[in-house]
Chain A
């Protein structure tokens, strides 16, 4: 595998067609932005899509956004539907994702020092201006970007505009995440189930083409699951469990399972204006991710459905996973982990929000057509009867949200039950990186092929034909 060249030691060629120039691959999602050079195995730069916003500007990147600055707010340029809402912020965030680690920025010592230590305050205005001076930052790299199948024409053109005009990339291409997932699994025909943060989507791909009418999605993705975890913790008996994020914990003493936490809260100076609620929520979300990684498991007993008897069986010790919160409170979770996952299949397993909470409005119980079985059914009903067996024989599971113990088996059981006369086959890569970065990896491989140059939209073509060429070329 070729190592990445920086913009400085890369050969200066006006041609982007050869193998010499590495294209940049950018896979922006709601939870993170994945960026790296084409031809590499995994993205070198992974940056949270959440950023910190204060009166002095925006700050990007893990650690940097974890610092509890005064009055700081945590935002995301992508909305809960998975669509970019704040283009200024998106452009700045995406640029950060590659300019920082990959193509290089002008080093800005003052800013770096300040980011690591908020007490050393430099001339911020000047420092920020220097940092922003990364215009035309892609002059030497064609850009391959991924997008969901439901991206609007306007948004696609906006991406082209940013790439080819603001960043001055010599060439551009947009690839659909669903197709990348199918191809990376070796399947020109597949039913792709993508478990993202904002949603779970079902994309039928036939002979390398998305069957648009069959694309279905529902907001039962990772964000929904986090909201369910919040509801579960709030309803805990005898006492509700409060998530105290790490930044609020000075020190803690070990306590027995189920006993109240014994910890010293972190003190902030009198005059300190606390971060805004979105900061705390983001920090809680990090704890919830750990909780999901530890506790979630899918019920895969073929003879006993979960709701009813299964729920009782699931209380057994063998299924228990202890989880410790940052303040030291800990308790084992067993049946809860199953029920949370089950709520993506069966709205009856939904954990209702506590009275007065907003979770219910943001993430209500899924309607039958918004559950995993409902999505698959709706999707297949929109495609030719003849190709349904081929789709069911090639169900590809991707997205970080799919990294739940037993989930592929659970989906296999469900679909086999729904379509008893058809052979259902599930493919979920055993390599976590392939499920986490499937779209990025797919883009990296195609964009690194010498022959891919025919596919690129060159800057010249874009200038001649305008933004509408995106819709024509990246169909």
Chain B
């Protein structure tokens, strides 16, 4: 969606993006032996967005498991941002395609309002600094991280009402 001039820009938290976030993303874009997914988090001092971990295997289930089990020190769920390279086959054997998905996972239930607020209000900062994201995915509980749904979105584009 292009930014419309009459829309309100909103209070972003002012967090910065650690340069490693971008360089790791660029490695993933290059493909070949680079990371297949990246999980990002907000640093403990709440000043910047940093790389939390990377995965070299395109194993969605393992990736999903990691996302949903991240914890804060308090024991509550910790939100994450993530990049996942969604690969899929075109129908009729027309070959493989892939789309780089930017995922925001903020569990609505087992998180503190503070982490929800900080992660939600800082997302655009990270997203805007990564060039080449093909799809945007917002998940607010584990059920919204199903592979089938991501695949559908990646392969067919957005649905209509």
* Across-interface contacts of B161 in A (CB, < 8 A): 380, 385, 388-389, 392, 419, 421-422
Q: Can you name 8 extra interface pairs (CB under 8 A) apart from A183-B121, A213-B6, A446-B11?
A: A185-B116, A185-B140, A186-B79, A186-B120, A187-B120, A208-B121, A386-B160, A389-B159
CB of A455 within 8 A of CB of B12, answer yes
CB of A210 within 8 A of CB of B121, answer no
Q: Does B151 contact A (CB under 8 A)?
A: no
Which residue of the partner chain, among A213, A427, A445, contacts B114 with CB atoms under 8 Å? A445
Known: A208-B124, A390-B138, A450-B46. A445 touches B11 (CB 8 A): no
Which residue of the partner chain, among B13, B16, B138, contacts A452 with CB atoms under 8 Å? B13
* Across-interface contacts of B12 in A (CB, < 8 A): 208, 455
Nearest B residue to A425, CB-CB:
B140
Binding site for A on B (CB under 8 A): 1, 3-4, 6-16, 45-47, 79, 104, 106-108, 111, 113-114, 116-121, 123-124, 127, 136, 138, 140, 158-161
Q: Does A160 contact B (CB under 8 A)?
A: no
Nearest B residue to A189, CB-CB:
B138
From A172-180, A305-313, A327-335, give the one contacting chain B. A172-180
CB of B106 within 8 A of CB of A173, answer no
Known: A208-B10, A455-B14, A475-B9. A183 touches B120 (CB 8 A): yes
* Across-interface contacts of A175 in B (CB, < 8 A): 10-11
CB of B13 within 8 A of CB of A209, answer no
- Jot down 11 A-B pairs with beta carbons below 8 A, ordered by A: A185-B116, A185-B120, A187-B138, A188-B104, A207-B1, A210-B7, A212-B6, A389-B160, A441-B117, A445-B114, A452-B13
CB of B118 within 8 A of CB of A445, answer yes
* Across-interface contacts of A390 in B (CB, < 8 A): 138
Q: How far is the CA of A380 from the CA of B45 in the complex (A)?
A: 39
Q: How far is the CA of A190 from the CA of B119 in the complex (A)?
A: 15
CB of A451 within 8 A of CB of B10, answer no
CB of A445 within 8 A of CB of B1, answer no
B161 to chain A, nearest CB (A): 5
Known: A186-B108, A207-B1. A212 touches B121 (CB 8 A): no
Interface digits, A184-209 against B, CB 8 Å rule (1 contact, 0 not)? 11111100000000000000011111
CB of B120 within 8 A of CB of A182, answer yes
* Across-interface contacts of B3 in A (CB, < 8 A): 209
* Across-interface contacts of A205 in B (CB, < 8 A): 10
CB of B108 within 8 A of CB of A185, answer yes
Nearest A residue to B15, CB-CB:
A451
Q: Does A434 contact B (CB under 8 A)?
A: yes
Q: Does A454 contact B (CB under 8 A)?
A: yes
Find the residue from B47, B124, B158 having the highest chain A CB count within 10 A. B158
A6 to chain B, nearest CB (A): 24
* Across-interface contacts of B160 in A (CB, < 8 A): 385-386, 388-389
Q: How far is the CA of A456 from the CA of B157 in the complex (A)?
A: 39
Q: How far is the CA of A53 from the CA of B124 in the complex (A)?
A: 47
Known: A422-B161, A427-B140. A451 touches B47 (CB 8 A): yes
Q: Does A449 contact B (CB under 8 A)?
A: yes
Classify the secondary structure of B's interface with A: loop
Q: How far is the CA of A175 from the CA of B10 in the complex (A)?
A: 7
Nearest A residue to B143, CB-CB:
A425
* Across-interface contacts of A419 in B (CB, < 8 A): 161
Q: How far is the CA of A317 from the CA of B27 in the complex (A)?
A: 66
A230 to chain B, nearest CB (A): 36
Nearest B residue to A175, CB-CB:
B11
The 9 A-B pairs of least Cβ separation, nearest first, read: A186-B106, A186-B116, A451-B14, A475-B9, A183-B120, A445-B117, A454-B14, A210-B8, A208-B10
Known: A207-B1, A208-B121, A389-B159. A441 touches B10 (CB 8 A): no
* Across-interface contacts of A185 in B (CB, < 8 A): 108, 116, 120, 140
CB of B8 within 8 A of CB of A176, answer yes
* Across-interface contacts of B9 in A (CB, < 8 A): 208-209, 475
Give residues 405-457 of A contacting B (CB, 8 Å): 419, 421-422, 427, 429, 434, 441-442, 445-446, 449-455
CB of A186 within 8 A of CB of B119, answer yes
A442 to chain B, nearest CB (A): 6
Which residue of the partner chain, among B15, B45, B113, B124, contacts A441 with CB atoms under 8 Å? B113
CB of B1 within 8 A of CB of A176, answer no
Nearest B residue to A433, CB-CB:
B113
Q: How far is the CA of A188 from the CA of B8 in the complex (A)?
A: 13
Q: Does A131 contact B (CB under 8 A)?
A: no
Known: A186-B120, A187-B106. A212 touches B158 (CB 8 A): no
Nearest B residue to A213, CB-CB:
B6
Q: Does A153 contact B (CB under 8 A)?
A: no
Q: Does A467 contact B (CB under 8 A)?
A: no
* Across-interface contacts of A384 in B (CB, < 8 A): 1
Q: How far is the CA of A65 from the CA of B154 in the complex (A)?
A: 59
CB of B7 within 8 A of CB of A209, answer yes
Known: A184-B116, A385-B161, A390-B138. A449 touches B13 (CB 8 A): yes
Find the residue from B12, B13, B118 having the highest chain A CB count within 10 A. B13
CB of A212 within 8 A of CB of B138, answer no
Find the residue from B111, B117, B127, B159 having the highest chain A CB count within 10 A. B117
Which residue of the partner chain, among B8, B16, B79, B119, contacts A209 with CB atoms under 8 Å? B8
Which residue of the partner chain, among A183, A208, A394, A449, contacts B14 with CB atoms under 8 Å? A449
* Across-interface contacts of A454 in B (CB, < 8 A): 14
Nearest B residue to A420, CB-CB:
B161
CB of A186 within 8 A of CB of B1, answer no
B101 to chain A, nearest CB (A): 14
Q: How far is the CA of A213 from the CA of B4 in the complex (A)?
A: 11
